[in-house]
Structure 1
Amino acid sequence: MNRLFTTKNLAKTAMISAVYGVVTWALSFVSYGPIQFRVTEVMVLLAFIDYAYIPGLVLGCVIANLFSPFGIVDIVFGSLATFIAVILISKTKNLLLATIWPTITNGIIVGLELYYMVHTPFLINFGEVALGEFVVVTCIGYPMFKFILKNKALTNILKMN
């Protein structure tokens, strides 16, 4: 636990959260709403490499959700979905299986959020949110992180130790 609070790791956490927040905001036209392709979600797979990325990823999601049209509801529940997903990713030993957690957690939690906020059917919300997560994290993120994990030097750079 102490290794999370080194200067190096705090700097990495700040960079990760800033990149996630700013890039999500910059691509806001595809980052918010029922069908969202939040490109920054690919970063959640960093938790597969090292659990120490979790604070930065969650904080980045909070920052990104400050700009959400759903306000505080998305800040709380969207960020909760990311928190649950990255915890599950960090506990999963198989990369392909790890990529499924954001699809499930965001599909359910953000799907329910949309159900209550805009009164659209939950199953449609779930499907649309899950589709975006699946495309970004599994279809794009899986091959990207498979490549990263094959490169030991790059993997060592990304580890927070």
Structure 2
Amino acid sequence: MSQNKNEAKDRAAKSRVGDARYVAHVGVIAAAYAVCTLVAMMFLGSLAWGPIQFRVSEALCVLALFTPAAVPGLTLGCVIANVANIAISGTGMLGMLDVVFGSLATFAGALFTWKMRRRPLVALAGPVLANALIVPAYLPLLLQGIGFYTIPFTSISLDGAYPLMYAFGLVTTGLGEAVIMYVLGYPLSRSLAKTPFVKRELAQLGTTK
């Protein structure tokens, strides 16, 4: 009986350590994504959040290949970055569209990546598809609300041409995300996979949660 109690205590202790590690990873990933996104917004402007976008922080979605902590971590980081962008870009309450639906796209893409992690090239299509399908649905409303009357870098009017705007955003957002995920993200994932710390910590966490 005493041995069973000791074993139960050991399991409980290991569980608490595992939970603490998981929470720590969520926090680190969220901070990394938020910081990278805000830096990109400051230096790239609308290229980090507009209809033609290259949000380089999206490359961090490859972390979902290694740990389930990346799913809430990336989502939380996206929420933080998009809330901060409301102040930076002056979008006001319209910016909440990006906070809610942009973060939903990040969540869906990261979850797909984690679920398909055994097939990395397929898994990285998750963020591409999620952003391509979700972001163009609300972005024209956001752009028009902050004073854009044509799609940036084009002569396409934002007034009364929603199907065309959505199709344009689907292609451009999807292509931009694909470049980030496969040109930056995939090599990053290959490098991370060779890192002893990542192999030991993230892989172990991923198999125990």
Q: Same fold (TM over 0.5)?
A: yes
Q: Which residue of 1 aligns with 2:110?
A: 86
CA gap 1:115/1:94 in 2 versus in 1, 3 angstroms? same
Match of 1:128, SS?
Answer: helix
Aligned to 2:51, the other structure's residue is in SS state: coil
How far apart in 1 are the matches of 2:17 and 2:171?
36
CA contact (8 A) 2:136 2:166 kept: yes
The alpha carbon displacement at 1:152 in A equals 5.9
2:179 maps to 135
- How far apart are residue 110 of structure 1 and its match? 0.1
**Helix, strand or coil for the counterpart of 1:35?**
coil
Which residues of structure 2 form unaligned runs of 5+?
A: 1-14, 145-157
Judged with a 3 Å threshold, the aligned counterparts in structure 2 of structure 1 residues 9 and 125 are, in CA distance, closer, same or farther, namely same
Say if 1:9 and 1:160, in contact at 8 Å, map to a contact too: no
Cα deviation for residue 3 of structure 1 reads 7.1
Q: Which of the numbers 43, 50, 67 marks the counterpart of 2:60?
A: 43
Counterpart in the other structure of 1:19: 32
Give the Cα–Cα distance (whole angstroms) in 1 for the partners of residues 195 and 28 of structure 2. Answer: 22
Q: CA, structure 1 residues 77+160, in 2 after alignment: closer, same or farther (shift >3 Å)?
A: farther
Cα distance in 1 for partners of 2:195, 2:80 equals 31
Partner of residue 64, structure 1: 81
CA displacement, residues 77-131 of structure 1 (integer Å, 9 cap, x when unaligned): 0000111111111111211111111111101100111244444511101111111
Measured on the aligned residues, the alpha-carbon RMSD in Å equals 2.1
Q: What displacement does 1:37 show?
A: 1.1
Q: Percent identity?
A: 34
Largest Rg, 1 or 2: 2
Q: Distance in 2 between matches of 1:49 and 1:90?
A: 8
Equivalent-residue separation in structure 2 for 1:54 and 1:65 (angstroms)? 17
Q: Is the 8 A contact 1:4 1:52 kept in 2?
A: no
User: Contact 1:52–1:160 at 8 Å: present in 2 too?
Assistant: no
Gaps of 5+ in 1: none
- Tell me the matched-pair count: 159
